[in-house]
Amino acid sequence: MVVLLALAITGSVALADAALMERLEAVKNAAITAYNARDWDAAADHAGRYEAELEAAGLPLAGADYALVAFIGGHAQFEIWKRDPDAFRGDFEEDVVGAMERSLKILQDDPFYKHNVLASAYYEKLRRDHFQDLELENRANWHMLRALMARYEELEDAPRDSEEFTAFAKYLLLYANRAFEMARHSEVPELYLVRVREACRMGFGSRFADRFARLYEVVGFDDGNTRAGVLWQIALDMMNGGEHTPREVLDTFAEAAAETRGQRERAEIFRQMSDFASRQDEHQFKLDAVEYARKAFRLDPDNPEIRVQYGTSLHVLSYAHFQSGRFREALDVAEEAVAFEWEGDEVAYFDLSRAQANFGDKINALVNAEKAWQKARTRFEGDELQPFRQNYVNILRQFGLPRKAEEIELAGRREQGS
């Protein structure tokens, strides 16, 4: 009787174990199906049921099947969190990254994919917390770099112009963008000099080689001042992207300038700010452009590009004042524009002569109109020279010198005829 009872108990346990294994297999397959269909709620629910079945049976949270389902559950919970972080009912540390970390400890297949998902989870949480958590920042970087290295090793022999490597290069650029955002706010931005350059080295030879070369250099901007370089590049990308307001772009440039230590480096940022502001329609931006250029000029007065930008911004402002009837302001700005030499300053003398003529300053208006014309003759011809000649002719006639005006016009017709 005892033997029969023991056999009966053993058989019951075996049947129970078989039933449990069938249930676990069914739940695992349901989790996989939902995950592949990107049905995150269902995937998370099935993963939770799988773990509950193990715990109810007194079985350890271990093994390849558990690791697979745990990763599915953690990733699904991450997607649910992303959908509405404020409404998320779980524990991000335990249910999202914790589940995936436990999975990765057991099952390290497909390292690029898994480290990439984990890196994204840590990064998005870090961004949600306004980049204020150094531990999240470190974890995000660790998994990002592990993902990069894993995929780079897989593609070691792949042609750099292949579709696979091009896709990887795009991922490298995504990493660089994230690294720039982290460096912008990090307590230890200098660490990103090494991190970004290592990623850029992986991308050399790809179709984005020029971009990687630029990023490689910019993190070393201002003698290795990584935060300044990162902010500068972010501002440049904002400027060229068209998704931000001009004021947002300029504010980011200003942030970069404030972080920059070198005078010449800061001057270059102000030059770019001036160039960008001068191309905006609102009058205030033209005023700002002059102020940025003044700052650049004070920092690096011998730089020819800065001199040109300073002079050009003054010309744009003087012209705007003149067209709006603000003749005194037009005169003042034009006088500032001829106070130093710069390539293209014939337009400044053009502005100055018009403004002086408006106030009846005959001698100076004539002198500067002729100077503008003579300077322009060394650089232009034909239609490009005509406005300077016409301005001189107009001012000659205005002050009762029609014969001289006719001589200039005749000389112009001869030049055009030849």
Q: What is the pLDDT of residue 414?
A: 79
pLDDT in tens, 348-366: 999 999 999 999 999 999 9
Confidence (pTM): 0.83
pLDDT band at 18 (very low <50, low <70, confident <90, very high): confident
* Ramachandran angles phi, psi of 262, nearest 5°: -70, 140
pLDDT in tens, 23-38: 999 999 999 999 999 9
Q: Are 173 and 203 in contact (CB under 8 A)?
A: yes
pLDDT band at 6 (very low <50, low <70, confident <90, very high): very low
Buried b or exposed e, range 341-372, using 16+ CB within 10 angstroms? ebeebbbbbbbbbbbbbbeebeeebbebbbbb
pLDDT band at 9 (very low <50, low <70, confident <90, very high): very low
* Overall average pLDDT of the 76-86 stretch: 97
Q: What is the pLDDT of residue 17?
A: 81
pLDDT in tens, 279-295: 999 999 999 999 999 99
**CB neighbours of 58 closer than 8 A, spacing ≥ 6?**
none
pLDDT band at 418 (very low <50, low <70, confident <90, very high): low
CA distance 262 to 265: 5
Q: What is the pLDDT of residue 5?
A: 36
**In angstroms, how far apart are the furthest CA atoms of the chain?**
138
| Alpha helices, H only, 99-203 | 99-106, 111-128, 134-154, 163-185, 191-203
CA distance 190 to 184: 10
pLDDT in tens, 178-215: 999 999 999 999 999 999 999 999 999 999 999 999 99
pLDDT in tens, 154-185: 999 999 999 999 999 999 999 999 999 999 99
In the structure encoding, which two tokens stand for residue 239, read together?
């400027």
Whether the predicted pLDDT of 278 surpasses 90: yes
* Overall average pLDDT of the 103-118 stretch: 96
Q: What is the pLDDT of residue 12?
A: 40
Whether the predicted pLDDT of 3 surpasses 90: no
**Other beta carbons within 10 Å of 32:** 15
